[in-house]
Structure 1
């Protein structure tokens, strides 16, 4: 098994994404790895309306993104992660996560499974499926919703 030194996880503030944060934090604690928690946000309602994704919560503006990151970092510390960084990026969840993974030179990306089994997800793609296809590092899809 690989030694993970940098793990990225995304959050949109939802219960599902917090479960992915907790799993990523547990892995980071076990490997003594850096955990980078990222949150995508849209800079305007117009930008948000251009995406057709049904599997992610729309985070509008950087203030809600910062609040989501604060809650996620707290949850990660409670699970045992100690080297935690947070970052927020404008754009779609997939664009933001891929930018964060590349900038952090991540070894592992952890995402929840929300949207992967929906009809919309099958037809248009989902965040977990799209990042799994695009990522240059290992991707763990955590079962966060039934």
Structure 2
């Protein structure tokens, strides 16, 4: 099977950027389009006001989708450095699993890539993790990249 569209999720962490690099290398090898996705939840007003006061003219960085867009710009740099050709960025409001599954459908991705962070944690086992959630809900192949030691 040849993947034409690969979607990878990132939250800006070093772990998720390792997943972006792996997805980009695969996209380069298969000449697939790479969709880099970042889910975000809006900051509550009670949190945003104090943060904006502290940040001054940089307050826009905690408003709306700006943090997710900053994360995606950094991820694009990693993807291009790893050889990806066509890179599409997608920032969507919502829970990570919901957003990744929805975007995989919208972009008709044949492969959804995520890192393994959360799979072996107590919280991940009790509450569910992004890798576990997408592996159960995605309508396409899922690749869980070993981005952490899992211990």
Name which one, 1 or 2, has greater alpha-carbon Rg: 2
Query: What TM-score do you get using the length of structure 2 for normalisation?
Result: 0.85
Q: Secondary structure of the equivalent of 1:39? A: strand
Aligned position for 1:36: 35
Of the three residues 112, 123, 136, the one matched with 1:120 is 123
Aligned position for 2:21: 22
Aligned position for 1:13: 12
> Partners in 2 of 1:5 and 1:14 — Cα distance?
26
- Report how far residue 45 of structure 1 moved: 2.9
Q: Is 1:94 paired with 2:73?
A: no
- Report how far residue 123 of structure 1 moved: 1.2
> Partners in 1 of 2:73 and 2:141 — Cα distance?
25
- Report how far residue 44 of structure 1 moved: 2.8
Q: Residues 63-111 of structure 1, C-alpha deviation per residue, up to 9 Å, x if partnerless?
A: 0100000000011000100110001100011111111101001000000
Q: Secondary structure of the equivalent of 1:70? A: helix
Aligned position for 1:73: 76
Report the RMSD for the aligned CA atoms in angstroms: 1.4
Aligned position for 2:49: none
- Equivalenced residues, count: 133
- Report how far residue 120 of structure 1 moved: 1.2
Aligned position for 2:134: 131
> Partners in 2 of 1:133 and 1:17 — Cα distance?
19
Query: What TM-score do you get using the length of structure 1 for normalisation?
Result: 0.88
Stretches of structure 1 that go unaligned for 5 or more consecutive residues are 47-58
Query: Does the 8 Å CA contact 1:41/1:60 hold for their aligned counterparts?
Result: no
User: Higher helix fraction: Structure 1 or Structure 2?
Assistant: 2
